[in-house]
Structure 1
């Protein structure tokens, strides 16, 4: 009975970058009505689900990444599922000039930007010995510099004069669905896949399971909404309690990395 009740509380999710076929509003459908969110990395994964849930709550969105085809396809799905506007744009968060051009286009289209979701990330879960110099630099350039670049550009172009909300979602350890740490304004999550499940990584998590994209998106929705009006400069931990109980087992992480490395990408 307890397991059934717990399972019933887990919100539905979809594999891949597809919109939810059914969505139950736990909060008012007009929670973000009239607002505009600029979401980097919004064409796939967690960013895609955040865009969807924001749009389901009345928000218009800009989804931006290096791959214009990906965000264009994602935009069509999001508009069809929610009926809200979604502008796909191509940017590279490592290059401030591309961010500036995208923000200018977004402001020309929507006249405002209320929320910035820094979701673009480049990540590898592997031993340091297997991480190339260029791979490490890529992670730092996208996750750290990219977050700063986008925040600074948007601040200078709009937030300084009008105010706004910044939510940072930076994956610091991820590899093919391995346990993923996410900072969202900041939030930290555990999202697992088959590799982590097979290695029994979830047994040490109090909730005994991985999180899903919908749960992370709900957390971002809270941070971006008036419900968090007196919350700032903090870390929202969304990881099923694993930070309290999970051992720092390097050998277990290596097992998961090895299992993922042997699977096709």
Structure 2
């Protein structure tokens, strides 16, 4: 039986690739045989990631500085990737932000920032990549949502209403895209991670011993996710192993959403 997880000959685009889940996913794609385009705003960090992936895997990596909330940035970035590789097979929409605050306290600017980064970026990346996927009759789109798309935060001192609602919007967008583009050989699915250490969480959640004790107590696995533990799900939804999986939401949370 052929290895349905093999990505040899594929090109993957990863947003938010300068750190955390995005960097891990880019390495995973390259190890699976794909060439990779990594996108983020921070050019120097991208350069470092590019060099490490190429040295470790031997795959070709293109680093493109891009603000995925800005249409012209996205259009230019996609044009660059297509010029370098000729085609795009996989899009991992990973860029995201978690703004704290409830609707009674947060600013409109903070609310809009959440939706621009978490939802608008998926719209823009898909807007410029889906047409090429339709033309080639193949594509895998994976959207990183959050377990907090379906469950609220469990701590009174930790409220993120714009995060909850924007990540829920990702699920609606995922289903709509999946239904519309399945006929073109494109699958669209979403992943809902719980707490994983990243640049976004290390300076806040992982520095709070009180928070981690509560989190570990409430999670059946008794711990946050470890580095790389999302990669299996990402590779599954990005490969032909999931060829008949469409519009689904896979939660990777150690069981936190079942209790």
Are the equivalent residues in 1 in contact too, given 2:189–2:248 (CA < 8 A)? Answer: yes
CA distance in 1, matches of 2:111, 2:232: 30
Q: Paired residues, what number?
A: 215
Distance 1:107 1:80 in 2: 23
SS of 2:96's partner is: coil
> Deviation per CA, 1:27-73, whole angstroms, max 9, x where unpaired?
96971111000111111110000000110110110000112222112
Counterpart for residue 15 of structure 1? none
**Other structure's SS at 1:106 match:** helix
Contact 2:147 2:252 survives alignment (8 Å): no
* 1:216 pairs with 2:230: yes
Deviation at 1:194, TM superposition (A): 4.4
Q: Aligned with 1:148: secondary structure? A: helix
**Preserved contact between residue 5 and residue 240 of structure 2 (Cα < 8 Å):** no
Q: Distance in 1 between matches of 2:45 and 2:226?
A: 21
Please say if residues 29 and 58 of structure 1, whose CA atoms lie closer than 8 Å, have aligned partners that are also in contact.
no
The alpha-carbon deviation at position 83 of structure 1 amounts to 1.4
Cα offset, 1:139, TM superposition: 0.8
Counterpart of 2:215? 201
Contact 2:147 2:192 (C-alpha < 8 Å) held by counterparts: no
Q: Which runs of 4+ in 1 moved over 3 A?
A: 27-30, 125-130, 170-174, 178-184, 196-199
Q: TM-score, normalised by structure 2?
A: 0.75
CA drift of 1:130 comes to 4.8
2:243 match: 229
Shift, 1:100, TM fit: 1.3
TM-score normalised by the chain length of structure 1: 0.73
CA distance in 2, matches of 1:29, 1:68: 33
Deviations 1:186-221 (A, max 9, x none): 111222534265432122222221112311122101
- Conserved 8 A contact 1:202-1:210: yes
What RMSD in Å do the two structures reach over aligned CA positions?
Answer: 2.7
User: Does 1 or 2 have the higher relative contact order (CA < 8 Å, sep 6+)?
Assistant: 2
Question: Match of 2:116?
Answer: 141
Distance in 2 (alpha carbons) for counterparts of 1:71 and 1:170: 22
Contact 1:28 1:57 in 2 (8 A): no
Instruction: Please say if residues 123 and 172 of structure 1, whose CA atoms lie closer than 8 Å, have aligned partners that are also in contact.
Output: no
1:108-119 → structure 2 map (5 Å cutoff): 108-119=83-94
Are residues 1:51 and 2:26 paired?
A: yes
> Which one of 120, 126, 131 corresponds to residue 151 of structure 1?
126
> Structure 2, unaligned stretches of length 5 or more?
154-158, 172-187, 197-205
Aligned equivalents of 2:147 and 2:240: distance in 1? 28
CA distance in structure 1 between the aligned counterparts of 2:24 and 2:100, rounded to whole angstroms: 23
Unaligned runs of 5+ in 1: 1-26, 246-265
Q: Which residue of 2 aligns with 1:188?
A: 192
Q: 1:132 offset after TM fit, Å?
A: 2.7
Deviation, structure 1 residue 125: 3.2
Change (3 A) 1:226 1:30: closer
Distance in 2 separating the partners of 1:172 and 1:219 = 14
